[in-house]
């Protein structure tokens, strides 16, 4: 069994050495004769229905290939954007929004936007100040009314009731 393992290892080693030698010394292959480029139709006669596949051969000059593709994609049927390419438009030249739209947006922002906490505090302070001023004004009106009620009547001296409707003593 030991010899069997050595034979396996020896065989593996021999095959490995042979594969390395074969890779190091490649067999020379005769050069393939360069095939001439395919016959190409004149660019002036090309249309959208023409066959452009011969221009895609790797043996055709890149400049000639580009001219043929330029001719192909110059056709309006192939040059039109499909509407699905959202990034192909020029967004540096935007149109102004109509004034009605701007007014609606401003109104919506005021209606739907939550105010800032600082702005809420300021509005609350202003509301308290206004309420205080209103209460002060009401107190002044009430005090003036009380002063008028407490004035004694010179004619009556407060002893007898007076008929208010007729202005006479009862």
* pLDDT(163) > 70: no
Provide the strand spans (E) within the chain: 162-163, 168-169
Give backbone dihedrals phi and psi of 88, rounded to 5 degrees, phi first: -90, -10
For residue 63, name the pLDDT band (cuts at 50, 70, 90).
very high
Give backbone dihedrals phi and psi of 157, rounded to 5 degrees, phi first: 60, 10
For residue 109, name the pLDDT band (cuts at 50, 70, 90).
confident
Distance CA 166, CA 164 (A): 6
* pLDDT(164) > 60: no
Domains in the chain: boundaries: 43-78, 117-147
For residue 103, name the pLDDT band (cuts at 50, 70, 90).
very high
For residue 152, name the pLDDT band (cuts at 50, 70, 90).
low
How much is the mean pLDDT over the chain? 77
The gap between the terminal CA atoms of the chain, to the nearest Å, is: 150
For residue 76, name the pLDDT band (cuts at 50, 70, 90).
confident
Average pLDDT value for residue range 124-146: 77
Least confident interval from 65-69, 86-90, 107-111: 86-90
3 state DSSP class of 170: coil
Q: Which of 7, 138, 66, 160 is nearest to 168 (CA)?
A: 160
Average pLDDT value for residue range 139-163: 60
Distance, C-alpha 167 to centroid of its chain: 82
* pLDDT(104) > 90: yes
Whole-number percent of the chain with pLDDT over 70: 74
């Amino acid at each position: 069994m030991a010899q069997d393992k050595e034979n396996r290892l020896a065989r593996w080693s021999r095959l490995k050495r042979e594969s390395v030698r074969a890779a190091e010394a490649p067999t020379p292959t005769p050069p393939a004769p360069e095939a001439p480029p395919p016959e190409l139709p004149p660019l002036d006669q090309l249309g959208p229905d023409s066959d452009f596949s011969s221009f895609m051969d790797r043996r055709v000059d890149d400049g000639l290939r580009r001219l043929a593709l330029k001719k192909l994609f110059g056709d309006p049927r192939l040059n039109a954007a499909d509407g699905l390419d959202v990034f192909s438009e020029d967004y540096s030249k935007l149109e102004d929004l109509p004034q009605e739209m701007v007014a609606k947006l401003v109104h919506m922002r005021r209606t739907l936007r939550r105010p800032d906490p600082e702005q809420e505090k300021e509005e609350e302070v202003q509301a308290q100040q206004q309420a205080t001023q209103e209460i002060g004004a009401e107190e002044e009106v009430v005090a003036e009314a009380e002063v008028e009620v407490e004035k004694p009547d010179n004619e009556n001296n407060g002893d007898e009731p007076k008929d208010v409707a007729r202005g006479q003593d009862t």
